[in-house]
Amino acid sequence: MINLVNLVNLANLATVTLSGDFYADIYIYLITALLPLSACLLVVQTNPYHALVIRAVLGAIAALVYAVLGAADVALTEALMGTMLAITLYAVAVHSSMVLRLGVLQTAALIEQEQPPETPVLVKEPRLAALITTLRDLIRKQHLRLELVPYPNRAALQQGLTTQEIHAACAPADVESDAIDCVDPANHSHHNGATSLCQYQIATRLQSLHDILQAELAAVGVDTVVYAVSNLEEQR
């Protein structure tokens, strides 16, 4: 019986100590609660660049939590490696991967590119420029950006599509197309009667890109996307 009373007293003492510690350390709990909050914010981001910035926020808050919990070395590592280096590397990776490389024919009437090759490609032909502007706006919804890759002739364009240098190729459809070899003759005749943007055809080797472009371009009245499976993928 005496043991039981002692036990109850001990439990009461423990409760009092715990509640006193709780109010003294409430800022630690609040700071720790920020970590799952920012992690949830990171999870719901859809734009990869926005997610990068929120990841940096998560790293800053994680460094604060580690520092407050007494792990100064872990906090320093999180700030230097986890935040700065990881964010920089991820930014480079997202920058180089979220791109649609579109091959175009480099003829004098269509485009011109000044030296050095790093300069942006200038589109001179107005219908191609309109198509590319439309395309750029459409894939911006998917957080992609458009990069034009000029090729001297149709054979080189087809070669670039086959060797996976480019994701899609854009060429005039009214010329007899030997490069993009999967143009359906029925679709071909249909395109000539449609709007002026339909004078060009886009061939892509990626199924998902084909689905996106087909849906989006059909919504604005252009359906010129041809799904071309490259020879390399057929061999697999």
Partner 1 sequence: MSWILIAMILALLIPIYEACKDENIWQKMLAFASIASKTAMISLFVSVLRDDWMLGAVAVIILSVGNAGLMLLAHVIKRVSQA
Does position 35 interact with partner 1 (CB under 8 A)? The reply is no
Measured torsion, CA atoms of residues 207, 212, 215, 218, in degrees rounded to the nearest 10? -100
> In the bound complex, what is the minimum distance in angstroms from residue 19's beta carbon to partner 1?
14
Q: Contacting partner 1 (CB under 8 A), which of 8, 10, 16, 92?
A: 92
Task: Pick the binder of partner 1 from 4, 23, 119, 193 (CB under 8 A).
Answer: 23
Burial level of 151, CB count in 10 A (0-12/13-18/19+)?
Answer: buried
Asked if 39 is part of the footprint of partner 1 (rule: CB under 8 A), the reply reads: no
Does the footprint of partner 1 cover residue 93 (CB under 8 A)? no
Distance of CA 107 to the CA centre of its chain: 31
Q: Is 224 helix (H, G, I), strand (E, B) or coil?
A: coil
Q: Does 10 bind partner 1 (CB under 8 A)?
A: no
Binding map of partner 1 across residues 46-85, x = CB under 8 A, - = no contact: -x-xx-xxx-xx--xx-xx--xx-x-xx-xx--xx--xx-
Least separation, in Å, of the C-beta of 56 and partner 1?
A: 5
Distance CA 145, CA 233 (A): 24
Residue 43 engages partner 1 in binding (rule: CB under 8 A)? no
Longest dimension (CA), the chain: 103
Residue 24's alpha-carbon distances to 21, 28, 86, 97, in angstroms, are 5, 9, 35, 49
Counting residues that bind partner 1 (by CB under 8 A) gives 40
* Alpha carbons 26 and 24: distance in angstroms, whole number: 6
Applying CB under 8 A, the residues found at the interface with partner 1 are 23-24, 26-27, 30-31, 34, 37-38, 41, 47, 49-50, 52-54, 56-57, 60-61, 63-64, 67-68, 70, 72-73, 75-76, 79-80, 83-84, 87-88, 91-92, 95, 145, 147
